Structure 1
Amino acid sequence: MAEVWQAQALAQAIGSRLAVSGPPELRGEALGLTELAGRGCGVLDPPELDPGDLRAAQLTELDDARQTLLSLGGLLGEVGMALVGMASAAADETTYWQCMEAIDAADESRDRVLEMLRKLAAREEVLPQNAEDSPTGV
């Protein structure tokens, strides 16, 4: 559960960073990701970690938004699958429902990531076409 919480915290940090300084097309979706991932953290008990061990706190920059989102999407997919296994093996109803809510949050966060990737792909298609249409090629 600590790993799941950390993955959601990382999604929240990436969403926050992209909402503030990412490509303009992503800012609304990134803000939504921040809120969804925050909900994902909220349904789980925070792990007992030293601040230096919190992976999300180690995020300093996002040079390549596309690669970051691809990696985050993969991580959220893995988190969702791990949560399904945890829910199936849950010893009590509280843990089961906690896992189900975390699955929902991870799935919705991943949907946001996929939407941002789609917007980036659309943006990259438009930029080369604009360069070709320009008389100077710029």
Structure 2
Amino acid sequence: MDAVRLIVTGRRALAGSKGVPEMMTEVWQAQALAQAIGSRLAVFGPPELRGEALGLTELAGRGCGVLDTPDLAVGALRAAQLTELGDARQALMQLGGLLGDVGIALVGMASGADDEATYWQCMEAIDAADESRDRVLEMLRRLADRDEVVPEAG
């Protein structure tokens, strides 16, 4: 499945999740998808994005690592369903939106956390999602710089 379809599916699932365990699962899924997209961009993406894509892979991996790994049914891991990136710019724009949604969900969960462990888990995941989103925005900036046409003097 292409990246944009998976991201849209993830955004819908996050928006429709009920309760902390389901939301945490969707946050983890989003970070795993960001990690997979970063890996794919690092290998197959435009050369000017490869360094930032590696950074995204690491940061999103950290985002998964600070959260408890969800117990997913076979075939339910969206990141494993990624078969193609499609248009890198569109995928990154959508991924930036998903990571923004993740941050908002995590803030809500942190503010309503019943225990300190959940609170700190959310805070660390907020940092990872925010830094991942920063990488995505930097890649979008690099794509815009690459595509910027400088008029010839004459």
Q: TM-score, structure 1 length as denominator?
A: 0.91
Match for residue 36 of structure 1? 59
Q: Contact 1:40/1:101 (CA < 8 Å) preserved in 2?
A: yes
1:4 aligned to 27, 46, 52, which one?
27
Number of aligned residue pairs: 129
The residue correspondences of 1:1-138 to structure 2 (distance < 5 A) are: 1-126=24-149, 129=150
Aligned partners of 1:81, 1:121: CA distance in 2, in Å?
27
Aligned partners of 2:74, 2:34: CA distance in 1, in Å?
17
Q: Contact 1:5/1:47 (CA < 8 Å) preserved in 2?
A: yes
Note the C-alpha offset of 1:50.
2.2
Note the C-alpha offset of 1:76.
0.2
Taking only aligned residues, the RMSD between alpha carbons, in angstroms, comes to 1.1
Instruction: Give the AA of the match of 1:66.
Output: R
Instruction: Give the AA of the match of 2:97.
Output: G
Percent identity over the alignment is 83
**Cα displacement string for residues 84-120 of structure 1 (whole angstroms, at most 9, x for unaligned residues):** 0000000000000000000000000000000000000
Aligned partners of 2:31, 2:102: CA distance in 1, in Å?
9
Q: Contact 1:43/1:98 (CA < 8 Å) preserved in 2?
A: yes
- Structure 1: runs of 5+ lacking an equivalent: 134-138
- Structure 2: runs of 5+ lacking an equivalent: 1-23
Q: Contact 1:19/1:30 (CA < 8 Å) preserved in 2?
A: yes
Note the C-alpha offset of 1:47.
0.7
Q: Which runs of 4+ in 1 moved over 2 A?
A: none
**Cα displacement string for residues 11-36 of structure 1 (whole angstroms, at most 9, x for unaligned residues):** 00000000000000000000000000
